[in-house]
Chain A
Amino acid sequence: MKKILVIDDEMTTLQMMKLFLGACGYEVLTAENADAGLEVFEKELPPIVLTDIKMPGRDVFSVLKMIKSIRPETEVMVVTGHGDKALRKKAFDLEAAEFFNKPLDTDALDAALKRIEKKIGIMPD
């Protein structure tokens, strides 16, 4: 079963993501902050990570870098509430796969997931 890691400091968001991505056929791993996210990532090595850009504690870009350094082919999608172009560019520079604004466009997420799945050759159950 394909795994996806969602990192967000909002418990409710995590819950909803879990339901939604579950409906998309994923086993959803969740973490409430960057450090917990990295820990889960190292343990489970999910191929796809969806992380909120702002996070108390660690800078999201350092999270992105670390994930990429652990497993370069990991597809990391970044979600932000700001819609800041500079952030978007910085995320892409760090080889983020996608960049979403809040509230999340689930159709775009669906499409992105399908594209990634195709790219990395996994199929949801």
Chain B
Amino acid sequence: MPPHLLPKPSRNDSPALIQALLKENAILRKEIRVAREAAEITASLVVKQFEETERVLQKLQNANAQRKAVLDSATQIAIIATNMKGTISVFNTGAENLLQYRAEEVIEKATPEIFLLESELTRHREAISLVTGHDVKGHEVFLEYARQGRKEQQEWTYVRKDGTHFPAVLSISALRDPEGMIYGFLCIAMDVTEKKRSEKALAESEANYRFLIDNIPNIVFRGYADGSLDLYDDKVETMTGYKKELFASRQMNWFDLILEEDRPLARQKFIDALKSNKSYIREYRIRRKDGEIIWIEACSKIVCNEAGNIDFVTGSFLDVTERKRSEYALHESEQKYRSLFISGPNPIFVLDRETLTILDASPSAEETYGYYKDELIGRNFEELGTFEYENESLSLVESGNWTDSCVFSQRIKHFRQGGEPFYVEVKACPTSYQGRPAIILAASDITEIIEKDAQLFQTSKMTTLGEMSAGIAHELNQPLNAIKIGSDFLKKQIENCRPIPSNELHQVVSAVSIQVNRASEIIQSLREFGRKPDFRKEKVDVNATIKDVMKIIGQQLSLQNIKVVYDLDDSAPPILANKNRLEQVVFNLVTNARDAILNQTRTPENSGDNVIAISTWSEQRTHLNITISDTGTGIPEKNVQKIFEPFYTTKEVGEGMGLGLSITYGIIRDFGGTIKVESQPNGGSRFHLRFPSSTNTK
């Protein structure tokens, strides 16, 4: 009892009363003490309770923050919570990101059905209906899934706000209150587009890989220390004749297939690889089941474990028998050509196709040109002499305009070391040398042939000159005769002391002067004709050449009552030739024409004029034509083909060597020309020459 509630003590109180009071007082004091203690305990309990509440509150706040953090941090995971009606109560940042809706657009306003395809929903509803035995409608499908506690993830097609789809795996959980009652469900969806893409890529890559393994000629293997061999396809059977299982089960050991003599090297390669970068390529022969020996190229990599021991060896086998065979053939062929290059009698050069720099030269080239190989290599081929192509122009080489055919050139003047000239005939073909476009060029020394040719030509000319000598003598005697008579007249008058009238004196000295000129001209043409041949080519005026020849033999022809008819085209272009040699051609053809006329027996029916007709004409300025026709005996058809052959002659033994037309033919061909003959017995012959004009030839 609280003190103030105690009865007020009086004067009459007896000691008993006092006693009682004291007793009561003591009880009260005790009660007070107990009460105070109780109050103290209660207060501390309240404080504790309060503190506990605070702690719980704090925890709750933390949990909420955590929950929010979880929801927010899952930016690529859509977390959607609903109540029992399916209305969305939570829509996290991930859901916003993936589905393109704002949280406030859907919370309390929509159900998760709007993010899904109706067709899929229907299918799930039907499936779950079968399980539950009653119709599942609308969002109930989620509840049913949640209720069943189906944790396995299912793939759904999600629809974004813009209508686009993406695949997602969805897990649905029930939300339960502390009593375990379901008050909603939670959908967690993850976008698996990337995952699906990688899965697809992986599948494709695997398929490709498989395809590759199946289709490359290489056999992919993995070999183990115990000698077993894993093979990934059946190609090994085609290659060796043994089934792959035999290798996997160690019934067959690959190394045993290798020919005994090839094993040491193969083993060495392996050991070397082990010491270095662990990979190796080795070639060896194996014996197939059927006994045939084939070449294998094995590219392998040794794979070691962490301890540094060999784990396995992987790589591929390839049948390289064909390649080996071609390599061998190539090697043989190279050896063959190499020996030709080294021991061939003709100099051979390898030139850069662009610059014509010498890349290689054969020993014969060293010998012929008098330079050491080192001196030749790096030098420009054109330094060895004029590289003038006759028929084919060098520009063909320069322009790189090669066809399959080779370029051929006759008579190039080259110089040995020290400047001694010699002639070569060149044949050049495109090739490649050390990987770059090159020309392989063979140069045959034809100096001797040229010299022989020159001698023959000279002999032939001298023969012609011999034949012509009577005519020439006559030709020279004409002016000499006039000079002689004129000067003898002067002498006679002077000796007889007779005066010489100035007009007569003038007449004589003029005649002397003119006749001396005439004689010199004849001598000049003779000298030119008799000159040693020179194969240089220059622009030659064909008409002038014909006229020069006729200066020497024209007189003789008229003596023999042969009329020469000219029809020369003044505008004819020059040709690239050698005047002296062209003269020889005209000479030969005209003297042949003369002989054909002189050999003809004249009968009363056949009493026409003896005519040699010479004409020239230009053909579009690219070609020049010459015809020399006669009214002579003609050539029997059977002989027409033979007339250009050497030593063919219709003349009596001793009259001619039969080289005239053969030489003529050679000369014409040298100038890039052609010669054709039309002839009929007793109908005369017509020789037609055609040359490219100098503007047409390089």
Contact = CB atoms under 8 A, between A and B. Distances in A.
Interface of A: 10, 12-13, 15-17, 19-20, 23-24, 54, 56, 79, 81-82, 101-104, 106
Contacts of B479: 12
Q: Which 8 A-B pairs have the closest CB atoms?
A: A81-B474, A103-B484, A106-B488, A16-B485, A102-B477, A20-B489, A102-B481, A81-B477
Interface of B: 470, 473-474, 477-486, 488-489, 492-493, 496, 498, 504, 507-508, 511, 514-515, 558-559, 561
Contact of A106 (B470, B484, B515): B484
A18 to B, nearest CB: 9
A106 B492 contact: yes
Contact of B481 (A54, A56, A81): A81
A52 B500 CA distance: 27
Contact of B484 (A10, A81, A104): A104
A19 B484 contact: no
Contacts of A54: 474, 559
A54 B478 CA distance: 11
Main secondary structure of the interface of B (DSSP, over half): helix
A15 B507 contact: yes
B504 A12 contact: no
B485 A81 contact: no
B449 to A, nearest CB: 40
B558 A81 contact: no
A81 B492 contact: no
B474 A13 contact: no
A23 B493 contact: yes
Given A103-B481, A103-B483, A104-B485, 12 more contacts: A13-B478, A13-B481, A16-B486, A16-B489, A19-B486, A20-B485, A23-B498, A54-B559, A81-B474, A102-B480, A104-B481, A104-B484
Q: Which of A24, A79, A101, A103 has the most CB of B within 10 A?
A: A103
A13 B504 CA distance: 14
B489 A103 contact: no
A81 B473 contact: yes
24 contacts: A10-B478, A12-B482, A12-B515, A13-B481, A13-B485, A15-B482, A15-B507, A20-B486, A20-B489, A56-B561, A81-B477, A81-B481, A82-B470, A82-B473, A101-B477, A102-B478, A103-B477, A103-B481, A103-B484, A104-B481, A104-B484, A104-B485, A106-B485, A106-B488
Q: Which of B477, B483, B514 has the most CB of A within 10 A?
A: B477
A106 B483 CA distance: 12
B129 to A, nearest CB: 137
A56 to B, nearest CB: 6
Contacts of B486: 16, 19-20
A16 B510 CA distance: 11
A13 B470 CA distance: 20
Contacts of A13: 478, 481-482, 485
